[in-house]
Amino acid sequence: MLDLILSVLFSSIIFVIFKLFNAYKVQTLYAIIVNYVVACIVGLLLYKGTVAIATIPQKPWFWGAFALGALFIIVFNLMAATAQKNGVSVASVATKMSLVIPVIVGVAFYKEELGPLKILGIILALAAVYFASVKRKSGIIKVSSFVLPVLVFLGSGIIDVSINYFREAHIAPEDFAIFSATVFAAAAIIGLGTVVVKSIRSTFKINLRNVIGGICLGVPNFFSIYFLLRALGNEDLNSATVFTINNVAIVMCSTLLGILLFKERLIPKNWLGIALAVISIILVALF
Q: How far apart are CA 273 and CA 86, in angstroms?
A: 14
6: amino acid identity, one letter: L
pTM above 0.85?
A: no
Mean pLDDT of 259-270: 83
Mean pLDDT of 225-233: 86
Summary mean pLDDT of the chain? 82
Q: How far apart are CA 225 and CA 227, in angstroms?
A: 6
Where are the domains positioned within the chain?
Answer: 2-286
pLDDT given at position 46: 85
pLDDT given at position 112: 65
Instruction: Answer for the pair 231, 240: CB distance below 8 angstroms, yes or no.
Output: no
Neighbours of 35 (CB within 10 A): 30
The residue that leads in pLDDT, 259 or 198, is: 259
User: What length is written for the chain?
Assistant: 287
Mean pLDDT of 194-217: 82
pLDDT at 161 over 60: yes
For the chain, what is the total number of helices (H) and then of strands (E)? 11, 0
Express as a percent the part of the chain with pLDDT over 70: 90
Mean pLDDT of 170-183: 84
Q: Which helix (H) or strand (E) holds 19?
A: helix 2-23
pLDDT at 218 over 90: yes
Q: Give buried/exposed letters for 247-270 (b at 16+ CB in 10 A, else e).
A: bbbbbbbbbebbeeebebebeebb
Mean pLDDT of 146-164: 86
